[in-house]
Amino acid sequence: MDKLIRSIPDEDAEVLQQQAKASGLNLESYMRLKLIEIAKQIRERQEREEEQAWEALIKSPRGQRTLQKLLAKAREQIAAGETVEGGFGDDEKQTHEEYNNII
């Protein structure tokens, strides 16, 4: 952190020092807080971009065709009794009929 602080131009360091003082923090603590805020903003932006990419994929004609194929296959498997509620190899599974009787 000291190396980072020393690398800041004097005029910027003065502004940071004033902001830190106004926040009731020393410069190092203030910079750590700012780094955490920046990391959070980056993470949130990445999550938004990822969500937008998925939405674009799903809304695309190819994505819609793929979803329709997956839906048709799932319906076929359900109709053929090839699936169980909960799936994924659990020993205590219920069939869709049993599940529907419960709800």
The count of structural domains within the chain is: 1
CA distance 69 to 64: 9
Band the pLDDT of 90: cuts 50, 70, 90: low
pLDDT at residue 99, as a whole number = 45
CA angle 53, 59, 65 (to 5 degrees): 120
Band the pLDDT of 97: cuts 50, 70, 90: low
CA distance 55 to 64: 11
pLDDT at residue 9, as a whole number = 83
pTM confidence score: 0.55
Segment 66-83, tens digit of pLDDT = 999 989 988 988 888 877
Provide the domain limits for residue 20: 2-102
Task: Return the half-sphere exposure (C-beta side, CA atoms, 13 A cut-off) of residue 86.
Answer: 11
